[in-house]
Chains A and B, each alone.
Chain A
Amino acid sequence: MFSKDIQTQVDKLLSHYPIRQNALIPILHLAQNENEGWLTEAWMQHVADICEVPLTHVEGVVTFYTMFRLKPPGKYHLQVCTCVPCCLVGGTELLEHTEKKLGIHAGHTTDDGIFSIEEMECIGACSFAPAVIVNEDYHEQVTPESMDKMIDELRK
């Protein structure tokens, strides 16, 4: 199921660990990236076979960690931190603003599939709060205005 390039990465990962199972989480990341940001049962089965563990083990792992998703995210996944330091300087209001702007609640995706929102616990940018991760990029000291601008840019 992995494309040739990614299969090379999978093989390389496996070579870094004494036991195949050890590479499970990094390989799940690769699988999720291959499948546009979420995992299906077929993908989980495939990774289970690679790591030589039962499917149920993979499902247990996938449901434990917040970064693995069982439904597709938007093309742009907005992860807004509302944990303590962010919350002190407007993170909660920023989340509410984003929800209103996109007309969806955290945990949901817009109908056109472009945006999804996730409420985050601390993402480690507390001294530069409030912080937001968009796909893989950090944005710091985000205001409702800069959020609006970013969303409008991304929509173009």
Chain B
Amino acid sequence: MAEETLVLFKNIRNPKYDKSLSAYKKSGGFKSLKKVFGMKPDEVVQEVKESGIRGRGGAGFPTGLKWSFMAKGTGKPSYLVANADESEPGTCKDRELMLKDPHMFLEGLMIGCYAIGCHHGYVYVRGEYFPSIKSLNEAVDELYADGLLGLDPMGSGFNLDITIHTGAGAYICGEESALLDSLEGKRGHPRVKPPFPAVSGFNGCPTSVNNVETLACMPFILGDNGVEDFKNFGPQNNSGTHLVSLSGHVNRPGVYELRMDVNMKDIIYEFGGGIRNGKKLKGVIPGGSSSPVMTADEVDVLYNFDDLAKKGTMMGSSAMMVFDEDTDVVKLLHRITRFYAHESCGQCTPCREGTHWSRQIIRDFLNGNGSEEKLLRLNRVGGNMMGTTLCALGDAAAMPIQSFVKKFPEEFRKYYATV
């Protein structure tokens, strides 16, 4: 039986672990922060760069590089904002971390704050995550009571505050510039870039926005021999373990911590226990609902950033949605487009209009009014959203449409009008 590799879940998988500060410290917690306080901030950034870690929120951008872009000498404060707005359909891993081991993530956030010279870090949590918000607030209170937050933690001379900030329900706020607008107390609209947040972010100050899981990796990376060990968990350029949210028609859905050299087939059949009710696999949406769909005969591939990119799709937030032979993919795509139509912020015309049109065209199909011409039109509407919007939501809506049409054309033909 295949096994998980436990770095982020090492405490969570221990049935006796109670997530308190003392339990976290007993597990070796805050040793890395102590070590980091003895380093220069630039040295910390350098180690993170060397570990090769890529952001776990979906884009896979190298974290060390992101931190090195932070504008210096501006005379303004710098900010680190943890993106805990987890809302890409299929993704439910950050919730596990915040709920069951908040201190590991918070230590990572504190390490990040030190690395980029931020004295006040924010955690932007989606508003629906009530239990996670409570868990984080209790953890932060413990840290203040212990003196690890506030004035001069561990005698480092580095004052540090952390605030847990609640969002209010808007998928688009997972996009980093929309998130910053929201944190400022506005509607969450993606901004025109440049300037990038590293130059002008929260309240116009240099800001880095990093995913929860990315930050939770920091205590390990900055630990003893962490950089080397982290690199060894996967092929080159795909280092570390990652949390895979497995959902859909498998026998054992769940969040699994895996190396990045595990085959997708094994994730479905070994970790997931195969397809429910003895059915056959039809396909997988491999990296959150926006990633291009894969058919059953494409899943013999290592589950990591680069191997999936080679297959013309993406790992995104490591959220695998598995569906069986009985699934009506036209209905499935309709549900996906409904999501994007609902969540488009309405700023850019191609996305605002395109998400609605595509939903309507697919609804036509479901009403038995499909045609070859409409299928072409659907594909064209998708194409017109690709790369034509301020943020990635346009692409996110387009990729499923174009890939479903390409991979499952016969399924759409079943819905052609019979005159």
CB within 8 Å of B: which residues of A? 16-19, 21-26, 28-29, 51, 53, 57, 60-61, 64-68, 79, 82-85, 87-89, 120-129, 133, 136-138
CB proximity of B399 to chain A, nearest CB, Å: 14
From B131, B168, B184, A66 is in contact (CB under 8 Å) with B168
Interface size on B, residues (CB 8 A): 53
Please, which residues of chain B bring their CB within 8 A of the CB of A125? 92, 95
Q: B321, A85: Cβ atoms under 8 Å?
A: yes
Residues of B within 8 Å of A16, CB to CB, are: 161, 163
Other-chain contact of B91, A22, A57, A126 (Cβ < 8 Å) = A126
Are A25 and B203 in contact (CB-based, < 8 A)?
no
Which residues of chain A have C-beta atoms less than 8 A from B249's C-beta? Answer: 88-89
B interface vs A, CB < 8 Å? 77, 86-92, 94-95, 126-131, 161, 163, 165-171, 182-188, 203, 245-249, 253-255, 285, 289, 319, 321, 323, 327, 332, 335-336, 339, 342-343
Alpha-carbon distance A125/B131, docked complex (angstroms):
12
CB distance from A89 to the nearest CB of B (A): 7
- Of A16, A68, A88, chain B has the most CB atoms within 10 Å of the CB of A88
Chain A residue with Cβ nearest B345: A64
Instruction: Give Cα A83 to B186, complex, Å.
Output: 26
Query: Does B90 contact A25, Cβ atoms closer than 8 Å?
Result: no
A24 to B123, CA, bound (A): 16
Q: How far is the CA of A154 from the CA of B245 in the complex (A)?
A: 31
A26 / chain B contacts, CB cutoff of 8 Å = 165-166
Interface of A, helix, strand, loop or mixed by DSSP: mixed
Q: Is the CB of A129 within 8 A of B187?
A: no
The reply to whether B89 and A22 contact each other, CB–CB distance below 8 Å, is: no
Inside 8 A of B285's CB, which chain A residues have their CB? 84
Residue ID in chain B nearest A129 by CB atoms: B247
A52 to chain B, nearest CB (A): 10
- Min Cβ gap B178→A in Å is 10
- Contact check: which of A88, A121, A123, A137 meets B247 at CB < 8 Å? A88
Question: Complex: how many Å from CA A83 to CA B87?
Answer: 11
Top 8 nearest A-B pairs (CB, nearest first) are A24-B185, A65-B168, A66-B169, A85-B247, A67-B169, A136-B130, A21-B185, A64-B187
* Measured CA separation A23–B170 after assembly (Å): 17
Structural contact, A122 and B87, CB atoms closer than 8 A: yes
